[in-house]
Structure 1
């Protein structure tokens, strides 16, 4: 089973719940898997290092560098624990499909 690493990100906002997720597959493959599950992802290839970003139905926001393997994910302040668990379950499901 493919696994991911997760670490809390420090930032200047007191109540911000932002985490970094590192996956064993590229973000490009990850967003293709997201698209297969009906998740809309915006890709901007105009930067020197193309980026992607998106927002899930519960307000969870994710972004990253397309060629990388790290995603920064911000969870809604009022329900961040449930949203974090849901995102990690989704990520596990997406990675399972990549094996």
Structure 2
């Protein structure tokens, strides 16, 4: 198509695309009534054995607590210095390290 137009010496025309607007249809929702089914749960009975516990009386001792002070250590950051190499010039003008 494009080749034939060039051969005829016509200018190519750009086709404009028309945008079609879509109409939205509103759907009416129908409400469905749900029937609820009741489920019967079977309960299992567990037999529990009771144990008798003997209570022992304990004497409480009061302990004195010592407070320890924590020392915070400050960390020093070391900065690394970059050494710049100096370039020396010779009499002729060449540089060497």
Short-chain TM bin: under 0.3
TM-score, L = length of structure 2: 0.15
Going by fraction, where is strand more abundant, 1 or 2?
1
Larger of the two Rg values belongs to structure = 2
Going by fraction, where is helix more abundant, 1 or 2?
1
Larger RCO (alpha carbons 8 Å, 6+ apart): 1
TM-score, L = length of structure 1: 0.15
